[in-house]
A = this chain, B = another copy of it.
Amino acid sequence: MTIQLSVGPRVRKSPFYDASVAAGLSHATIYNHMYMPVAYGDPEAEYWRLIQDVSIWDVAVERQVEVWGPDAETLVQYLVPRDLSKFFIGQGKYVPVCDHRGVLLNDPVLSKLDQGRYWFSIADNDLLMWVRAVAAERKFNVSVTEPDASPLAIQGPKAEALISGLLGDWVQGLKYFWFQEADLDGIPLLVARSGWSKQGGFELYLLDQSRGTDLWNRVFEAGKPYNVGPGAPNYIERVESALLSVGADTDDMTNPFEVDLGKYVHTEIAVDYIGRDALRRIQDEGPKRRRIGVIVEGTKLPPNQHRWPVTLHGEQVGEVTASAFSPRLDQNIGLANVHADIADGAGLLVETEQGHRAATVTALPFITPPDQRKLGAPRT
């Protein structure tokens, strides 16, 4: 069954929209009120391109929320449970954003552009509204806006060679989530070592939305020797690498401890932030749910169309939020949220669209990239 995406003026188009359509965009979704490419007609090729070569993704949907002004440091720390006391200009940090109940709202990369100037690079919800409400109610002296900044991700083992050729060898010195300004023959950019895969790579934040096609074409030209091609955040690779997708893997009760983000929650610091008391309580009591990997037995399954209930001895104990057939593991794999007390999970069943399947619990991620060191240590 095929449903066409309705394309019109209500939903924003990315600066790379025309280029991605010209490159053969076949499937898209909507994310942060913008069209977001999902596939270009050959999922197999797109997967291997990311794993073996280099892939270009229009991820302009990662909108930026800029916080700027005299109270920016105070507000930004009040918004996140991670200790920001050591934070350098030019650095990015992965930060959970929680509400007052300690529930995870979003998991942006927070970049420090300058003293008193920050960007949250956000997942799919209106964090701009959240930040504005908090800033205004607390009477912080800041402006909270959306800048003209649209990330284009270059992901895969050959991304560094491509970007070095395009911008210079200096990019090799960028640490994970750090960024630097650059100018590509008049196209203004922020260059960050970042991206929603574990295959290494960069995000080029285009700072002039009128130059999207120019940038796309320049990157493709530079990538020809590396077998470059179009792609998008890859569903199979994200399951293999156990990347969290807020909204897809979380619900209106999920706290960061349940989804392996506890290391970014600093309940011991003295400074006040939203959700601190709730997060302390959750930490003391221990989270009620946890995130596991499951190998789903039997024949190859298509990706899940909805969350699959997970049962143990006839009782539901959780759900698989994302599943895929891994070409490298030759297995059906899935990310599941389950009750914390299911022990080793022996006897788990998963209700797939093709009936019940036995499932085995495994550690996450399913696959670790061979040379993690060289790629930088992600999520720092």
Cross-chain contact A27 with B4 (CB below 8 angstroms): yes
A130 within 8 A of B: yes
A114 within 8 A of B: no
Cross-chain contact A305 with B100 (CB below 8 angstroms): no
Q: A9-B321, A30-B30 are in contact. Are A99 and B136 (CB under 8 A)?
A: yes
Cross-chain contact B136 with A100 (CB below 8 angstroms): yes
A169 within 8 A of B: no
Q: A126-B126, A137-B138 are in contact. Are A38 and B6 (CB under 8 A)?
A: yes
Q: Which of B8, B126, B133, B303 contacts A134 (CB under 8 A)?
A: B133
Q: Is the interface of A mostly helix, strand, loop or mixed?
A: loop
Q: A25-B3, A33-B124, A130-B133 are in contact. Are A304 and B248 (CB under 8 A)?
A: no
Nearest-Cβ distance from residue A131 to partner chain B, whole angstroms: 9
Residues of chain B within 8 A of A331, CB atoms compared: none
Residues of chain B within 8 A of A21, CB atoms compared: 1, 3
Residues of chain B within 8 A of A322, CB atoms compared: 9
Q: Beta-carbon contacts of A94-127 to B below 8 Å, as 1s and 0s?
A: 0000011000010000000000000000001111
Output the nearest chain B residue to A245 by Cβ-Cβ distance. Answer: B10
Residues of chain B within 8 A of A6, CB atoms compared: 27-29, 38-39
Q: Beta-carbon contacts of A25-47 to B below 8 Å, as 1s and 0s?
A: 11111100101001100000000
Cross-chain contact B5 with A132 (CB below 8 angstroms): no
Cross-chain contact A306 with B9 (CB below 8 angstroms): yes
Output the nearest chain B residue to A139 by Cβ-Cβ distance. Answer: B100
A2→B5 CA distance, assembly (Å): 8
Cross-chain contact B137 with A133 (CB below 8 angstroms): yes
A sample of 17 cross-chain residue pairs with beta-carbon separation below 8 angstroms, ordered by A number, consists of A3-B7, A3-B28, A4-B26, A5-B27, A5-B28, A5-B29, A6-B28, A6-B29, A6-B39, A8-B303, A8-B305, A9-B307, A30-B30, A33-B125, A100-B136, A129-B129, A137-B138
